[in-house]
Structure formats: structure tokens, C-alpha cells
Chain A
Amino acid sequence: MKKIRVKNTYDLRLTGVPSRTIRESSLGKTLSVLPTSISLIKPKLSVKEGASVKTGTPLFYDKRDENIKFLSPGTGTVKEIVYGPRRCVDEVIIELSGKESFEPFKKISTAGLKKLKQEDVASAIQEGGLWGVFTEHPFRSIPRSTTVAPAIYVTVDNDEPFLPQSAVYLKDREEDFKFGLAILEALSDKVYVGVSSQNENIKTALGASVTHELEGHYPANNASVFLYYNKESESENKSWSIKGQDVLRLAELFKEGKYPVQRLIVVAGDHAKKPSHVLAREGMSVADLAGKAPNEPTRYIAGGVLTGRQITEKGILGFNDYAIHLIREGKETDMLTFFKPGFDKPTFGRTYMSSLFNSSLFKMNTSLNGGYRACVSCGECPKACPTELLPQLLMKELKANDTEEALDQGFLDCAGCGLCTYVCPSKIDLDTVFDDAREKLYWEVEK
């Protein structure tokens, strides 16, 4: 087991931590699928309004590559298709029929897997609707169906606040996980499995399957970070990654021959009633999963609080979402804060007393904690970049359209973790600049 020490990580110490108990949730009358929430694809519908679908019937596919399919998470009829601007499909609403029936897929056993060729395994995953769980670096897009991964990185732990804990989702499922890894090994010569160095239990439970220990706070267990520290040559830049829980879903697809709809998510944040793990399925709404927020301004987020999408109280759990957060919007106004010692103000640097007396938790809220300013070259962001980039320079180059220079400095290594944006005293949305640039580059390359 190799140990990777990730530089420049940070423990945010936020409140609203989900407990390890698992809550069941019950389905509502409908499920919705959000094609536009999946980045870097061109969705094209394969069903019409009124069509009846089983769980696992293809709803839409990616126009770039028709083998990349997205399946229905429930059984019923397509009640409505909601189009957004320029006729892109925003939402496919499925009215559930109450009785669930599954689209059958071929079951593949451990022994059966050994006989299959790489293409066969790939196409079984594509048919089963799980090709989208793979992320191809450096753009973090879904790989094309025919590409072969130079390496696959599996991240078992999630250190972003907050995502499902491996101790919860992997409990009693080590064998499934190992079967999932076998599937990955059939796809690529190199499979790396990274586990948080603090996670002793999982290390012992998974034994020899674990190849790397990742040491550091957030985002040490991020796949792009893992890849950055592990790669030895340029050819590995296009490696793939997959989340630990999705490895389980691959195993389930092969074992059961059914589209695996269940997943564990966390519902967290101070405004969630009882922050905990929740058994959920794609397409469920916030109302189904989290109930009502208290009567205070609340922000709803699908995903972690540093990388998630903002949604509304009617929001939907998307294909790649593993968390729903309900946190306070804004905060109480406070007087003359910047002249106070600030024992209660956790911070990345050392400008508040909290950095000496390191005990308080940061009450999670969406206040900007400052005004928008130009970059003052304070030098905080490079100290928060796990892939050793200089975010302030990249930001300036990208804004000036000097993409070449940004690439030359390693822009594509950016893990999109959001820490630079988190620490910036000028409150610059570096993450937005980087996301936009990456997306633009992607479509230029894809053309």
C-alpha cells in the first residue's frame, strides 16, 4: 500500500454533520430525471410523453455516443417532458405505477466475468445504464464507449462536507465491492483504489484490494487529486475515476441483472431535520428526501457544499448526486466584525483568534463573508490548492483568454475542489472561471 501525502488540504469543520444512521425514504407519486444536470453530454430523448417505461428502460442517450444511455429509475409512464431554453430537455417526469418491474439484463458471475473480453464488459455496463458513473479526466466527462482507460482510480472515501461515509455504504458489502473491482480490472490494466489514511476499518476490511492511502483533509480523497499525485507520465492524464459506491452498483448490476436504483446519500446541513444517511433513488425530490426546512431562509444544494448545484425546495436528486444539503441562506448581520478577535470564526489563515483556539465549528451558511473585490495577490489560494497550481494566475490568464499559458501552467490538473474559491478574501468565484474554461475547452476538443 502506497501512501500519498496530499499538500494544501483543509478541514472546514462545518456544522450539520450527518449521523451514521440510515433512514429509509418512501417514493412519491413521480420521479424526475434531469438530463441537463449531467455535464458535458448532449442528451437526446429515446421516449415520448405517454410512453410506459420499466425500471431500466432507456430514457435518453448521449448524442456524442449513442451507447451512453441513461435509464429510467422507476416504473410507470412518462408524464411530461419539460424543455428548457433552446429545446434542451430539462426534466423527464415519470408517473410511478406503484408496481415495479425491471428491464432484464444479463447476469454475469465472477466466473463468467473472467471469460469476457474488455469490449463485452464495457457494453454490458453501457446496456445497464451505468457507463455514466465513469469520469474521464482531465475534463471529467463521461468517456466514449470505445475508449479504453489507461487506469481507473477508485475513491472509497469522501472528505467533502458532506458525502456518504464508506463506513456506512460499505458495511457488510466488502465482497460486492471486490467483485466490482474485478469488473474494473476487466476494463483496464491498472486499477488503483485509494482510501483515507484515517480509515483504519476499511483498510482492514478491504485488505489487499486497497492500493493507496490518501493522507490529508479535504480534498485528499478527490479523484483528480489522487490522479495528480499518482501519475508518472503524460499518458495517464486521461485516466478514469469512479466513486466507491458506484463500484457497488456495477457489482449489483452484474449480479442481479437489474438496473441498481438504490443508493445511499446524505441529507445534511443545519436546516435538515435530522442530518443522516438516507436510502434514496435517482429522481426523488427534496421533499421526498428531506422534508420541510425550518421557517428561515434556506439554501438547497444537490451535492457537497463546495461543489454542489444550487436547487430549490422542489429540487431533484440527479444522476450523480450523493447528497442533499439544507443550509442557512445568509447570516445574521454582525457589527464591526473585522475589528473583533473572532474566536468564533474558523478560518483558513490566521487572521482570527479561532486559529489559535481551534475548537469551534463553523456554522454553515451561505454568507459571502465579504464583498466582491479585485484580486489583491494575497497568496491564500495557492496555499489551498491540492494540485499545486497558482489559481490567481490561472484566473487572470483565463479571463484574458490566454488559455495557452493557463494550460502550460497545468490548468487541466485542477481538481475543481473549490478550496481556492472558499479561501479567497476578495470573494472571487474562481471555480466558475475554471469550470467555464474547462467546458469551453472540452467542446473545442470534442468538435
Chain B
Amino acid sequence: MNPLRALFDKLEKPFHKGAPLEKYYPLFEAMESFLFSTRLVTKSKVHVRDNLGTKRFMSMVLFALTPCALFGIYNTGYQSHLASGLSLDLVSVVLTGAQIVLPIVIVSYAVGLFWEFLFCVIRGHEVNEGFLVTGLLYPLILPPTIPLWQVAVGITFGVIVGKEVFGGTGRNFLNPALTARAFLFFTYPASISGEVWTAIITSKDKIVDGFSGATALAIAAATEAPNNAQLAMESAGYNLNDLFIGFVPGSIGETSAALAIVGGLFLIITGVGSWRTMLGGFLGAVSMSLLFNYFATSSTLPFFQLDLLWQLSMGGFAFGIVFMATDPVSSPALESSRFIYGFLIGMLGMIIRVINPAYPEGWMLAILLMNVFAPLIDYVVLQKRKKKRIRNVI
């Protein structure tokens, strides 16, 4: 037998029913089932079960997130070195990025898992692997400048209020990572308002000339008529290519629309993320953005005129639609509702981004809002579905 397996068999004893550590069995189970396939067998009449379990399901999302996370580390270091006038070679950039990002990820996981385990031990539940996803999504939508204690406070709120008070993963109606992010946004607006999102590692006086640190979105939102938002961004050094690939300051993992698309394709191919939500979100954003263009005049906000491609490449749009909107738990349950849900997110997010100068980015709020409306969409779609069936009641 595998020596590790043997070790676990030995370790298991004190966690058994009646043994001293019985209460902490969920902890043991989490470790064990992380390493080994389950020893549980079927009890119902369906004696054979599919190979897909929630662990595999969630690890697919983690795979999809990996490119964004890795690029996030690189880009954080890159932006920081760029602003500080330091060397831009790969190794040093990655090292700096890792120094900034890894502590945030570690705090997110450590604090989040602490709460997760605590609730599981109290409830006697098994630990749900859903947190492995939340714990990575959350740091990726934070700015690299975030203080670590805020990371901890945010994830605490996200896990407890966004999820555990409702009974844990599967019973929550809001996306926990976004709940955590929204909490920080409203509680500590100064740290997260989206003005300056580059982690500066040198003293202030060494910052390169001309660096303002303002994100593309902040510039676009702040442009006043009769100026042109695109020109304003270009003169601040932004171009479409960088925005799409992600070489711009912004939240750690959100900047690269390209890699979010890669992750999205992976989710669609494996069937783990709903393509209807993504397609809906894309079409919603496109149509709203075109509508803005259509109604743009010299008296409207200059942001109205901004070209579609810029709109789609900027900020957290791609990341939000691919990874946040598709969270199955907080989405509507019906596949057909998911398209409507995605579409409304796309439209709403674009509206918030363009029209409301108080919010630098719209996707977080749009998705949370639609999370709340998800059951309503389901309800409407369900009534329609019912009409198509031949009734079968007693």
C-alpha cells in the first residue's frame, strides 16, 4: 500500500465517532479527500456514479484561473518596476510581483479557510471545495496596493455574510468573492477607489516623471466634454493593445482580457462555466456600448463615445463575465435564464461604468445586483416552461 495512505489510515483513528477529536473530522476529511479519491460508496438505487465530483469541478475553475493569476503576478511586478524606474527583466519583475501578490493570496486563503473550517466543525459538515475558488478569485480582483489587514477583513465578511450565514456553499445567493470585494469598496473607499493601483516599491521621489498611476478607467471616467476619452487615455500612455493583453495597472488578475478569454474558453470546453452567461454578458455589453455611441453628442459624457473595442478590453469586464458571472451557485438555475442573466449583467455593468462617476467599475455591482434577481429570472422562465408541458398532476 501507498505509505501516505497507510499514514492517513493511522491518523484517522482519533477522528472517528466517539474518539477525542471527533469534532474535527471535517478537517481530517478535507485533507484526506484532497489527496485521495473517496472511499465512500453509493447508498441509493443508483449504484454506479459518474467520475465527476465537486473537487474536479472546482479544480477545473482553478485551472482556468491559473493564466490570469500568473500574469497578474508578472504584471503587478512589471507595473511597479515601470513606475519606479527599475529594471524590467523577467526575473526581477516576477520576484517583485510575487512579493506583492503572494501575501495577498496567502492571507485570503488562510483567513478564508479558517472561517470555512470553523463553520464546518461547528456544523459537522464536510469542507466544501468551493472556497478554493473563492480564495483565489478574491485576491485577483483586488488592487495590488491593498493593505493585508483589509484583505483579511474583506474575506471574513465575504465568507461569513456572503455564504456561511445562509448555510455554506450552494445555499448562498451572492457571489462570496464579490461580496468580500464590495464590502471593502464601501468600507474603505480610500484604499480601493481605483485612482492609483500600482504598488510603488521605491520612495516617492524616485517615481518616474509623468507617472500618474491613474487607471485607464479612471481617466476615461474623469474626462470632461469636449475632450475625447480615448485621446485622454492615449495621452496618458494607454493603447488598445496593452489594454487587451493586460500590460496596464489595475486589479491584480483582471487586467488581461486576452487571458480571461483563454480561461473562458477552457470553462466552456470543459462545460464547467455556462457559455450562455458569457455570451449573454458579451452581447449585453456590446449592445449597451453601441447604444452609448449612438446617443453620444457633444453635451453627453465623453465616455459615451468610447470605441467598443476599448470598452471591452478595459478594466474587469472580461474577467468578471468569465469568472464571476458564471459562478453557478449565485446564477439562475435554468440554462435559459442564464443567457438573460448574462445579458442584463453586460448592460448594467456598462451603464454603471459609463454613467456613474462614483464607481470606477461596474461589473462587481452589476453581478451582485443580478445575483439578487437571479431567482426572479428563473421564476419567469419557469412559468413559460410549465406551459409547454402536458400537465401531469393528481
Contact = CB atoms under 8 A, between A and B. Distances in A.
Given A348-B50, A348-B52, A231 B390 contact: yes
Contacts of A379: 274, 328, 333, 335
19 contacts: A234-B391, A308-B47, A310-B45, A333-B2, A335-B35, A350-B271, A352-B51, A367-B39, A368-B41, A369-B37, A369-B53, A377-B331, A392-B333, A409-B382, A421-B49, A422-B46, A425-B53, A426-B54, A441-B394
B390 A233 contact: yes
B41 A366 contact: yes
Contacts of A372: 40, 126
A53 to B, nearest CB: 31
Contacts of B2: 333, 335
Contacts of A393: 333, 382
Interface in B243-281: 269-272, 274
Contact of A367 (B49, B60, B392): B49
A329 B56 contact: no
B389 to A, nearest CB: 5
A392 B329 CA distance: 12
Interface range for B: 35 or more
A50 B371 CA distance: 68
Contacts of A331: 37
Task: Name, among B126, B169, B391, the residue most crowded by chain A CB atoms within 10 Å (CB to CB).
Answer: B391
A357 interface: no
A14 interface: yes
A327 B42 CA distance: 12
B59 A369 contact: no
A369 B38 contact: yes
Interface of A: 12, 14, 138, 231-234, 237, 299, 301, 305-310, 325, 327, 329-331, 333-339, 342, 345-352, 354, 362, 364-380, 382, 388, 390, 392-393, 407-410, 412-413, 418, 421-427, 429, 431-432, 435, 441, 445
Contacts of A234: 390-392
B186 interface: no
A371 B33 contact: yes
A31 B169 CA distance: 50
Interface of B: 2, 4-5, 29, 33, 35-57, 59-60, 126, 128, 130, 167-171, 269-272, 274, 328-329, 331, 333-335, 382, 385-386, 389-394
A374 B271 contact: no
Given A370-B38, A382-B335, A390-B334, A376 B130 contact: yes
A345 B169 contact: no
Contacts of A301: 47
A371 to B, nearest CB: 5
Contact of B53 (A338, A350, A435): A338
B53 A309 contact: no
Nearest to A414: B392
Given A350-B269, A374-B169, A308 B45 contact: yes
Contacts of A392: 333
Contacts of A335: 2, 4, 35-37
Contacts of B35: 335-336
B45 A306 contact: yes
B46 A431 contact: yes
Given A335-B2, A367-B38, A445-B394, A347 B328 contact: no
